[in-house]
Amino acid sequence: MADAHPLERAVGVERYASETAGTGGRLRDAPGDFRVREIEDFDAEPGSESAGDYPHVVLRATLTDWDTNGFARELSNRLGISRERVNWAGTKDKNAVTTQLFTVRGVDPEDVPAVRDAEVEVVGRAGRNLQFGDLVGNEFEITVRDPDHPENADAITDELAAFGGRSGDGESSESGRPVGVPNFFGQQRFGSYRPVTHEVGLAVVRGDWEDAVMAYVANPSEHEPPETQAAREFVEETRDWGAAIEEFPGHLRYERTVLNRLAENGGRTEDDFREALETFPSNLQRLFVHAAQSYAFNRILSERMARGLPFHEPVEGDVVCFADTDAPGDLTIPDPDRLQHATAERADVLARHAERGRAFVTAPLVGTETELADGEQGDIEREVLADLGIEPADFDLPGEFHSTGTRRAILVRTNVDVERDPLTFTFALPKGCYATVVLREYLKTSPLDL
């Protein structure tokens, strides 16, 4: 297996599953090169229904070059309401064309404003807001610009089919060839140009709130503009919170908000620093801890790859989850609430379930209630957590930072349809899986090109 790009190794992704040299090329030259459409399990009632019974207006928005948080903020500002009243099932990045549902509580459909670069349709009303559990998956259509070796895509597909335990399924279907890739968390989970989100989260889990704040507002990256690097260096050297606000460019609003709170409360005690982090919206507070869990997960998967353990079937000691039989649509969704240990007596039976796509080997997104594996996989999990200086009990945290944890499938399977001229990939993934984790195997380039 080939070594990953250095920037990927910084977020725990050490290897590729395929050996063939990449196609090269770039993603997202234009937003239309990266199209995403959510697959949701959420029913809306007609817009004529009573606002008392159905207080949430349901919108379908096709966004060009908007990240989800940014659009929600713009929408709430235009409506003159708190952003906490705008909800969605999955977060999408900028520099793409994305289609997804939103719910907005306590507004009238006719009050929904026009927003630049957004096609917004009122779908109806609902009795509750959208939640992450309403997301089933995403459909992708992604174009690669200026590939050096587009012909390598076929050999990579063959290798990924073998990695996913599907080497015998060589025939293409209408939806493409079946492949499997390690279910890594993608670079955007941690920050593409400045991957520090997990560093903030690890500091939070260790109870070092000051380090968490400094990891976010200081800690400059060579990939940032010089003025931003200078601002981060200033706050790192001076701890003069009030003066630092003036150093930070206006678009770095989260940094400026954190610094403003530190200037107000003194920025001297751990409580001061925790209070500053709590100025983030609730979903972003959770994201810090989730990024720490994701980094540990990536490290665990990389070590499993290094040891040559299979991803498509369990070995003794693994923890396996079963498929969600109630999931709508054609996607196979792992259900982390249905776990079973692959004991010596059960490993072969569970392997047959995995071969049929009914079961999945898992690794932990560690939290207070997470089960760790036994056997060699258990050794890997405990060694990674010990190296990071964290343990499950450390996730017993205040407010939005608390996490009970779960387990997550280590392999994601999909059917990939590959077209040439231009090189275009079409596939669907279950919720929580990253299109760039599939595409990195094909391009084998810097994550900044993904």
List, by residue number, the catalytic residues. 93
Which structure tokens are listed for 301?
Answer: 């998967």
* Rounded distance between C-alpha atoms, residue 164 and residue 176, angstroms: 15
Angle between helices 226-238 and 209-217 (to 10 degrees): 150
Which structure tokens are listed for 75?
Answer: 């929408």
Nearest Cα to Cα of residue 228 among 180, 196, 203, 188: 196
Number of other residues whose CB lies within 10 A of the CB of residue 369: 11
Would you call 226 exposed, middle or buried from its count of C-beta atoms within 10 A (0-12, 13-18, 19+)? exposed
**Phi, psi for 332 (deg, rounded to 5):** -95, 120
> Among all chains, which residue has been given the structure tokens 């140009």?
193
Which residues make Cβ contacts (< 8 Å) with residue 343, sequence separation at least 6? 316
* Rounded distance between C-alpha atoms, residue 160 and residue 437, angstroms: 12
Q: By three-state DSSP, how is residue 432 classified?
A: coil
Angle between helices 209-217 and 253-265 (to 10 degrees): 140
Nearest Cα to Cα of residue 316 among 353, 341, 336: 341
* Rounded distance between C-alpha atoms, residue 279 and residue 68, angstroms: 19
